[in-house]
Amino acid sequence: AQKVTQAQTEISVVEKEDVTLDCVYETRDTTYYLFWYKQPPSGELVFLIRRNSFDEQNEISGRYSWNFQKSTSSFNFTITASQVVDSAVYFCALSETTDSWGKFQFGAGTQVVVTP
Amino acid sequence: KAGVTQTPRYLIKTRGQQVTLSCSPISGHRSVSWYQQTPGQGLQFLFEYFSETQRNKGNFPGRFSGRQFSNSRSEMNVSTLELGDSALYLCASSFGTDSYEQYFGPGTRLTVT
């Protein structure tokens, strides 16, 4: 069963618009970690942010912000004032602590297209 | 600090052949995980090595194997290649606990004809 769901396949925006990416996860672990990665056309996955299950404080880092809500098992990610360089596929990932050494479970990804 | 490196970057093989991919982790990282990425299945976990031991394995046939050396460099091998093995193979390194983010290499693009 899919443990990480990214329902949005593709989002197209015009530069300077905000983009919010949805992520819903499923786990029975009480301790777990959530991540967002960016994959530009070059193919390399780039780490963006990490959150643990005990810290629901939402933060802002530059143009990135995230909204973690355990009650709805959601970990949404927002890019403020998007730029063309933000065009990439964005992946949400879950790392559990039960029998999960080194195993990240990724969502299907959301393609973000930012046009000038 | 140098990032994760993978060699080769591109490979073309024929069905039935075998292939070996290499991954050098970030200095100080002892864990290496391997993933297969395809348009149909997305990113799928293959296996993870820590201090030369396989600690975890995904749902892939025995044709997929790996190993890790004492310097934390890792190799994965695919024997008897099938057309469906065509994919981007990504390796990631980390300090080795669940809480740490994984840093990915650029991947090896394998095409099986």
pLDDT tens for each residue of A79-98? 999 999 999 999 999 999 87
Q: How many CB atoms lie within 10 A of CB A22?
A: 17
Q: Which residue has the higher pLDDT, A64 or B100?
A: A64
- Region B56-74 average pLDDT: 96
Note the pLDDT of residue A22.
Answer: 97
Partner-chain residue, chosen from A52, A100, A106, that has the shortest CB–CB distance to B43: A106
Query: Quick one: pLDDT at residue A61?
Result: 80
* pLDDT the model gives residue A102: 85
Per-residue pLDDT, A1:
65
CB contact under 8 A, A43 and B107: yes
Nearest residue on chain A to B32, alpha-carbon basis: A102
The strand pair at B5-7 and B64-68 is best described as unpaired
Work out the average pLDDT over A70-81: 95
Give me B75's structure tokens: 């190799």
Q: Which residues of A touch B101 (CB under 8 A)?
A: 35, 47, 50
Are B48 and A46 within 8 A, CB to CB? no
State the nearest Cα–Cα gap between A94 and chain B, in angstroms: 10
pLDDT confidence band for A11 (50 / 70 / 90)? very high
- Provide, as residue numbers in chain A, all residues whose Cβ is less than 8 Å from the Cβ of B92: 45, 104
The closest CB to that of A33, out of B33, B42, B99, belongs to: B99
| Predicted confidence band of residue A99 (pLDDT cuts 50, 70, 90) | confident
Looking at residue B107, its pLDDT comes to: 96
The predicted structure's pLDDT at residue A78: 95
Contact by Cβ (8 Å): A60, A46: no
CB-CB neighbors (< 8 A) of B106 in chain A: 42-44
Of the candidates B47, B45, B51, B88, the one whose C-alpha atom is nearest the C-alpha of residue B68 is B51
Chain A residue numbers with beta carbons less than 8 Å from the beta carbon of B8 are: none
**Contact across the interface for A33 and B98, Cβ inside 8 Å:** yes
More confident residue, A94 or B99: A94
How much is the average pLDDT of B66-71? 97
What would the mean pLDDT of A2-20 be, rounded to a whole number?
95
**Would you give the DSSP letter of residue B47?**
E
- For position B26, what pLDDT does the model report? 96
pLDDT tens digits, one per residue of B3-62: 999 999 999 999 999 999 999 999 999 999 999 999 999 999 999 999 999 999 999 999
The verdict on a CB contact (< 8 Å) between A100 and B55 is: no
Flag whether residue A61 sits within 8 Å of chain B, measured between CB atoms: no
Which pLDDT score is estimated for B19? 98
Average pLDDT rounded to a whole number, residues A93-107:
88
Name the more confident of A75 and A100.
Answer: A75
CB-based contact A102 B99, cutoff 8 Å: no
Confidence category of residue B1, pLDDT binned at 50, 70, 90: low
| Contacts with B57 (C-beta within 8 Å, 6 or more apart), sequence order | B46, B47, B48
Residue B54 C-alpha, separation from nearest chain A C-alpha, in angstroms: 9
